Structure 1
Amino acid sequence: MATENRQSFWDHLDVLRAAIVKIALVTVGFGMVAFFFKEQLFSVVLAPKSDGFITYRLFNRIAAWSGGLSESFSVRLINTGLAQQFIIHMKTALCAGVLCASPYILYQLFRFVSPALYENERRYVTRVVGGGYVMFGLGVLISYFLIFPLTFRFLGTYQVSGEVDNLITLDSYISTLVMMCLAMGLVFEIPMLSWLFAKLGFLSDGFMRRYRKHAVVIILVVAAIITPTSDVFTLSLVALPMWILYEVSILIVNKAAKNSEP
């Protein structure tokens, strides 16, 4: 602490620059690996478009167990730009690189700010960042395995007439997948932020219960904004987890308040 306090402003900038360079190198390294393993990368990215995806097979088994009928579907993606596939390949590889390097990115950022923190503050920051990272990852997984597949199957096979075929571009597919995963990752930070605000004394469970109806309206508005499509089906899929997380956050805030009492 004493050594760090004696560093000048430019010394801190040098430390930050070194951390940014390391982050960039690791991210680019993971991105290059993802770029060269194209088949494996896109087998994961494009998996939800096939009726053999694990989510569809699970729902088919549930339908068969309940005596219902399961329908197979097929959606073929198209490309409309000369260099579009190559550009999408690079963007997807870069996103995969950032995702794989995210633990290292958080580690480098924590190393940069930790010298300015006391020991108890370091433990507190570690809990907040670690919990936020886990919740963000959980939101991404739920979006990839549940929300996006159901949305894609509904919209990809929906037709106003048998004479109109769906021609879905690869760019539209990738953009929707990334946007929904990112949005759900951020949405799943609600319990963590609620806990943090409760610890800081800015939020109480009574306040959240009192304005529950207002929160539902805000959830619907936010879901409509972050939803890449304008259909009610996708809106409901996004709004429902947000409402559940809000109710869970009330319990978390209540517990945090009780633990803070002397």
Structure 2
Amino acid sequence: MSFLDHLEELRWHLVRSVAVIFIFSIAAFIGVDFIFDTVIFGPAKVDFWTFRKLCELADLINSSALCIDELDFKIQSRKMTGQFTMHITSSFVIGIIVAFPYAFWEFWRFISPGLYFNERRASRGAVFSVSFLFLTGILFGYYIMSPLSVNFLAGYQVSEIVANEFDITSYVSTISTLVLGSGLLFQLPVVVYFLSKIGLVTPTLMKAYRKHAIVVILVLGAMLTPPDPLSQVLIAFPLFGLYEFSIIISRRVIKKKEKKELLEQQQSK
């Protein structure tokens, strides 16, 4: 195919991806009551799933400190176009999240014909892996990071004179950033896999920087959660597990690469 033919092919993949995102965005726009009252404002309610499970855990360990029975803040719109703008923005974000597996599949369909047979075989299951990790990160960001961050920010005060009355644009932007950021953060194993394939990352290198990674993860957990050990562990432990899982992936890739190189050397003799 010529360069222009490749561009034409890419254009249709992009058109189909955007069309699916647009369809899901329209569906989210129409279902405004469910999207806002149940999904977006869910982490701002004390009966949210995460808060209920924390209360159940508090009952098991006989400690009321974990149970959150009040979120003392209000959400309001200070701009005339605030609610309408957030309605459109949130619908678009949800459209991207829901359509992500299909959009990545379209992207993979475009680049996979340009790969060699062994490269396609080595990257088999890429669409499933990327989509699974992304959706897992989305769930983690929504059910863990978002409610803990909302609880912390809702109760944080520099003075009793200052009341927490958040603008809807600030609230939606914060939730969207946490959820999408978590979805992208969970792509670490995929990134490590491809970096290991081209030799930029090795398990030895990742092990050498494990202590640095732990510090970064703990700092990230402290920034995103309330200043209590349990909340930081809820954030840090899965991220550290993701890092360790990435080391395992890198080790497997390097072993296969070394085995292939050894076989080629034996055949060349």
Question: What amino acid is aligned across from residue 24 of structure 2 in structure 1?
Answer: F
- Of 40, 44, 49, the residue aligned with 2:39 is 44
* Equivalent position of 1:58 in the other structure: 53
- Of 4, 17, 24, the residue aligned with 1:10 is 4
* Equivalent position of 1:4 in the other structure: none
- Of 60, 63, 66, the residue aligned with 1:68 is 63
Deviation at residue 86 of structure 1 after TM alignment: 0.2
- Of 115, 130, 133, the residue aligned with 1:132 is 130
The whole-number CA distance in structure 1 between the counterparts of 2:156 and 2:240 is 27
The whole-number CA distance in structure 2 between the counterparts of 1:133 and 1:141 is 12
Segment of structure 1 superposing worse, 178-187 or 154-163? 154-163
* Equivalent position of 2:103 in the other structure: 105
* Equivalent position of 1:257 in the other structure: 254
Question: What amino acid is aligned across from residue 34 of structure 1 in structure 2?
Answer: A
Segment of structure 1 superposing worse, 192-201 or 81-90? 192-201
Deviation at residue 158 of structure 1 after TM alignment: 2.5
Segment of structure 1 superposing worse, 26-35 or 116-125? 116-125
Question: What amino acid is aligned across from residue 246 of structure 1 in structure 2?
Answer: Y
Deviation at residue 166 of structure 1 after TM alignment: 1.0
The whole-number CA distance in structure 1 between the counterparts of 2:252 and 2:105 is 29
Question: What amino acid is aligned across from residue 139 of structure 2 in structure 1?
Answer: L
Q: Describe the superposition over 1:172-199 as per-residue Cα deviations: whole angstroms up to 9, x where unpaired.
A: 1111111111222222122222233333
Gaps of 5+ in 1: 1-6
**Pair 211,117 (structure 1): closer, same or farther in 2 beyond 3 Å:** closer
Q: Are 2:54 and 2:68, in contact at CA under 8 Å, matched by a contact in 1?
A: no
* Equivalent position of 2:148 in the other structure: 150
The whole-number CA distance in structure 2 between the counterparts of 1:170 and 1:247 is 38
The whole-number CA distance in structure 2 between the counterparts of 1:79 and 1:236 is 34
Q: Are 2:51 and 2:68, in contact at CA under 8 Å, matched by a contact in 1?
A: no
Segment of structure 1 superposing worse, 237-246 or 165-174? 237-246
* Equivalent position of 1:197 in the other structure: 195
* Equivalent position of 2:182 in the other structure: 184
Question: What amino acid is aligned across from residue 249 of structure 1 in structure 2?
Answer: S
* Alignment of 1:29 onto 2:27: no
**Pair 18,240 (structure 1): closer, same or farther in 2 beyond 3 Å:** same
**Pair 219,67 (structure 1): closer, same or farther in 2 beyond 3 Å:** closer
Q: Are 1:128 and 1:196, in contact at CA under 8 Å, matched by a contact in 2?
A: no
Deviation at residue 232 of structure 1 after TM alignment: 6.0
* Equivalent position of 1:19 in the other structure: 13
Q: TM-score, normalised by structure 2?
A: 0.81
Q: Are 1:184 and 1:238, in contact at CA under 8 Å, matched by a contact in 2?
A: no
The whole-number CA distance in structure 2 between the counterparts of 1:219 and 1:172 is 25
Deviation at residue 231 of structure 1 after TM alignment: 7.7
**Pair 15,209 (structure 1): closer, same or farther in 2 beyond 3 Å:** closer
Q: Describe the superposition over 1:87-107 as per-residue Cα deviations: whole angstroms up to 9, x where unpaired.
A: 000011111112222222122
**Pair 235,41 (structure 1): closer, same or farther in 2 beyond 3 Å:** same
CA RMSD of the aligned region, Å? 2.8
* Equivalent position of 1:170 in the other structure: 168
Query: What secondary structure is seen at the aligned counterpart in 2 of 1:159?
Result: coil
Q: TM-score, normalised by structure 1?
A: 0.83
Deviation at residue 16 of structure 1 after TM alignment: 1.8
> Percent identity at matched positions?
33
**Pair 110,195 (structure 1): closer, same or farther in 2 beyond 3 Å:** closer
Segment of structure 1 superposing worse, 41-50 or 14-23? 14-23
Deviation at residue 143 of structure 1 after TM alignment: 1.0
Query: What secondary structure is seen at the aligned counterpart in 2 of 1:77?
Result: strand
